[in-house]
């Protein structure tokens, strides 16, 4: 006599199968989430590297241009102040500098518009007098009071510095180089020095404006972010931290040295945007598997319930 399978036994088997499938789904979803997060952080690193390369290329190109102009100036046969001023104005327009300046080694400096200022004692000027081509920290424009970066090169004659040529750029110009169009436009970048003071700020909708130092955020009174990042800043090391902001939620913050002065490139992406990439997959996959499991359970329950009747009908055909 064949032993009949009860409905309870059938349900137990199906529930056990469902538990196994659910556990497998949970483990897979967890692995998928970790993989997607890892890939997202890698994308963040790549976009940060692109921004860093844009800044480095811009600074290198500007200094090369200024060096070429300085070389041409050093061999002019009979230079006059009027002729030099006209040359500065022409080069400013051609190379899109905010201003161009020509200084003597004592600090007396003439702008392309004919105005005169004294830059003696300014760090970027003194470094150029010593023969170093470089870009300054953020300084205030003595003409209009706005924030600028000054790129300076020495003018030499037989290896002797006889003057300094400078080109200035508004920090907003460099800000445009950092207009990170990744992560649906939700990510943004800025440049800071090793103390966290802003060199080039971001005007992105998600950026915090009005702060001189990024570690003075009002929603970080305990300076948790500062303590995490400054240790790496001191040894010129990059990295990515996950920071929970009281006002902006969880943020992924990438930081890496630029190789220019003591500058760091900071790139920020809200976790909520990263979550958008994963939530649809992480949510829909279990839902789909649950529906499949539920359908299998209903089908199995129906078979268990209807099997005795079906077997009786097949065994006793009319």
Mean pLDDT of 99-104: 95
Of 40-44, 158-162, 173-177, 276-280, the range with the lowest mean pLDDT is 276-280
Output the 3-class SS for 97-153.
CCEEEEECCCCEEEECCCCEEECCCCHHHHHHHCCCCEECCCEECCCCCCEEEEEEE
d(CA 241, CA 282): 23
Residue 9 parent element (H or E): helix 7-74
Residue 99 has pLDDT above 80, yes or no: yes
Looking at domain 74-170, does it have CATH number 3.20.20.105?
no
Give residue 1's pLDDT: 42
Global pTM exceeds 0.85: no
User: What are the structural domain ranges in the chain?
Assistant: 74-170
Residue 311 has pLDDT above 50, yes or no: yes
For residue 302 the two structure tokens come to 């129906």
d(CA 96, CA 75): 24
């Amino acid at each position: 006599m064949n032993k009949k399978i009860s409905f309870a036994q059938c349900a137990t088997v199906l529930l056990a199968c469902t538990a196994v499938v659910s556990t497998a789904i949970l483990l897979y979803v967890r692995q998928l989430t970790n993989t997607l997060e890892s890939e997202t952080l890698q994308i963040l690193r790549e976009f940060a590297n692109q921004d860093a390369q844009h800044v480095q290329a811009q600074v290198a190109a500007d200094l090369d241009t200024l060096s070429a102009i300085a070389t041409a100036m050093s061999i002019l046969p009979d230079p006059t102040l009027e002729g030099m001023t006209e040359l500065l104005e022409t080069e400013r327009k051609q190379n899109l500098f905010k201003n161009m300046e020509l200084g003597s080694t004592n600090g007396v400096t003439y702008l392309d518009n004919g105005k005169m200022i004294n830059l003696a004692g300014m760090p970027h000027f003194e470094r150029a007098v010593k023969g170093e081509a470089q870009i300054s920290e953020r300084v205030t424009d003595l003409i209009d009071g706005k924030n600028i970066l000054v790129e300076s090169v020495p003018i030499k004659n037989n290896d002797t510095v006889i003057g300094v040529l400078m080109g200035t750029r508004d920090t907003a110009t460099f800000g445009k180089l950092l207009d990170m169009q990744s992560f649906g436009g939700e990510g943004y970048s800025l440049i800071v020095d090793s103390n966290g003071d802003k060199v080039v700020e971001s005007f992105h909708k998600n950026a915090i404006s009005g702060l001189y130092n990024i570690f003075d955020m009002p929603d970080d009174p305990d300076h948790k972010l500062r303590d995490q990042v400054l240790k790496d800043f001191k040894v010129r090391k990059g990295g990515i931290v996950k920071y929970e902001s009281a006002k902006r939620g969880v943020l992924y913050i990438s930081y890496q040295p630029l190789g220019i002065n003591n500058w760091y490139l900071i790139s920020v992406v809200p976790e909520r945007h990263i979550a958008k990439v994963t939530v649809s997959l992480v949510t829909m996959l279990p839902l789909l598997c649950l529906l499949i499991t539920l359908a299998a359970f209903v089908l199995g329950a129906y078979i268990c319930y209807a099997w005795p009747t079906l077997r009786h009908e097949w065994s006793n055909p009319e």
